[in-house]
């Protein structure tokens, strides 16, 4: 374990779920899931294909309404709260690269994100020059995420890994308390994986990160807490060493591609 994982402040739960469940026409996709996501920690949600990870993300962000259970964000019950309000309250999900505009530069993309109220569509009728006042904030964020060298490059010309970092930057423009990342390493080469893992670790010093990730060496490296799902239910939870030694987890992963 690295030094940055070893030094921890007092845990503060910012997002929690209790007894979370979702049925689809009689099929139980998620059942009895309890989660506690803490500030300044990276929490991984892992499990074989079809385990219910995406459904849990959709439930937490309220894209899907739970059939059972409750969700609390920053001390407030959000079980029946609309997704746009949940985003404004500070729970933001990073979408795939489609959230980035390929013909805009890195800086323009971040500025567009900075002027966007959480959960609402971008206001396309504003000319980009109207966003000049956001230059300093955009540059700060770009610097934080190691994108300064690419500030004036079009998003389309970035490497795949840097596009993902830009996409995380646009999400961070909303200054979320809890950032949900859906397979941030998907489709990346080894070098980009290491770069993006470092960025996620930095980002998580100021907020909670919950991520679905199939790359278990990344999970082992950067995640403080791991919850393992199988067939919609939690079969193990704890640090990576504990869950990876659990016989139920080993069995669940046998024969799966993860």
Judged by the rule CB under 6 A, the positions of this chain that interact with ligand ATP are 24, 27, 29, 47, 49-55
- Write down the least CB distance from residue 246 to ligand ATP, Å: 18
Parallel, antiparallel or unpaired: strands 225-230 and 42-46: parallel
Residue 183 has which token pair? Answer: 């397979």
- In whole angstroms, the minimum distance from the beta carbon of 144 to ligand ATP comes to 30
In the bound state with ligand ATP, the residue whose beta carbon lies nearer, of 154 and 231, is: 231
Please report how close the Cβ of residue 181 comes to ligand ATP at its closest, in angstroms: 13
Q: Closer to ligand ATP at the Cβ: 30 or 197?
A: 30
Among residues 24 and 160, whose Cβ is nearest to ligand ATP?
24
Q: Is the dihedral of CA 38, 40, 46, 50 positive or negative?
A: positive
Neighbours of 129 (CB within 10 A): 6
27 SS3 class = strand
Q: Which residues of 7-31 are buried (b: 16+ CB within 10 A; e: fewer)?
A: eeeeeeebbbbeebbbeeeeebbbb
CA–CA dist 216, 197 (Å, integer):
12
Judged by beta carbon, residue 166 or residue 211, the one nearer ligand ATP is: 211
> Collapsing DSSP states into helix, strand and coil, what is residue 41?
coil
Nearer to ligand ATP, 55 or 94 (CB): 55
Which residue's CB is nearer to ligand ATP, number 57 or number 150?
57
Task: Find the shortest distance in angstroms from Cβ 71 to ligand ATP.
Answer: 16
**Overall residue count recorded for the chain in this entry:** 258
CB of 251 to ligand ATP, least distance (A): 17
CB closer to ligand ATP, 2 vs 49: 49
Tell me the H-state helices in the chain: 3-6, 53-60, 83-89, 106-114, 135-144, 160-172, 190-203, 216-222, 240-245, 247-253
Report helix angle 190-203 to 160-172, nearest 10.
10
Contact 172, 87 (CB under 8 A): no
Q: Give the containing element (helix H, strand E) for 19.
A: strand 13-24
Closest separation between CB of residue 128 and ligand ATP, Å? 36
Give least dist CB 210 to ligand ATP, A: 13
């Amino acid at each position: 374990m690295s030094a940055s994982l070893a030094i921890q402040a007092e845990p503060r739960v910012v997002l929690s779920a209790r007894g979370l469940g979702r049925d689809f026409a009689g099929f139980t996709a998620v059942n009895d899931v309890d989660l506690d996501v803490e500030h300044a920690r990276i929490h991984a949600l892992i499990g074989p294909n079809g385990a219910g990870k995406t459904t849990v993300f959709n439930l937490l962000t309220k894209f899907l309404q739970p059939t059972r259970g409750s969700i609390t964000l920053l001390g407030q019950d959000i079980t029946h709260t609309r997704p746009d309000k949940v985003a404004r309250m500070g729970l933001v999900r990073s979408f795939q690269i489609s959230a980035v505009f390929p013909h805009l530069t890195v800086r323009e993309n971040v500025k567009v994100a900075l002027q966007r109220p959480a959960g609402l569509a971008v206001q396309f009728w504003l000319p980009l020059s109207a966003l000049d006042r956001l230059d300093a904030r955009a540059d700060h964020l770009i610097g934080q995420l190691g994108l300064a060298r690419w500030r004036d490059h079009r998003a389309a010309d970035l490497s795949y890994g840097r596009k993902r970092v830009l996409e995380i930057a646009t999400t961070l423009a909303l200054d979320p308390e809890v950032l949900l990342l859906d397979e941030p390493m998907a489709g990346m080469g080894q070098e980009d994986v290491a770069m993006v893992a470092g960025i996620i670790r930095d980002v998580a010093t100021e907020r909670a990160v919950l991520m679905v990730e199939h790359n278990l060496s990344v999970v082992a490296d950067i995640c403080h807490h791991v919850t393992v799902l199988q067939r919609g239910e939690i079969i193990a939870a704890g640090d990576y060493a504990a869950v990876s030694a659990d016989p139920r987890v080993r069995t669940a992963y046998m024969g799966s591609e993860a």
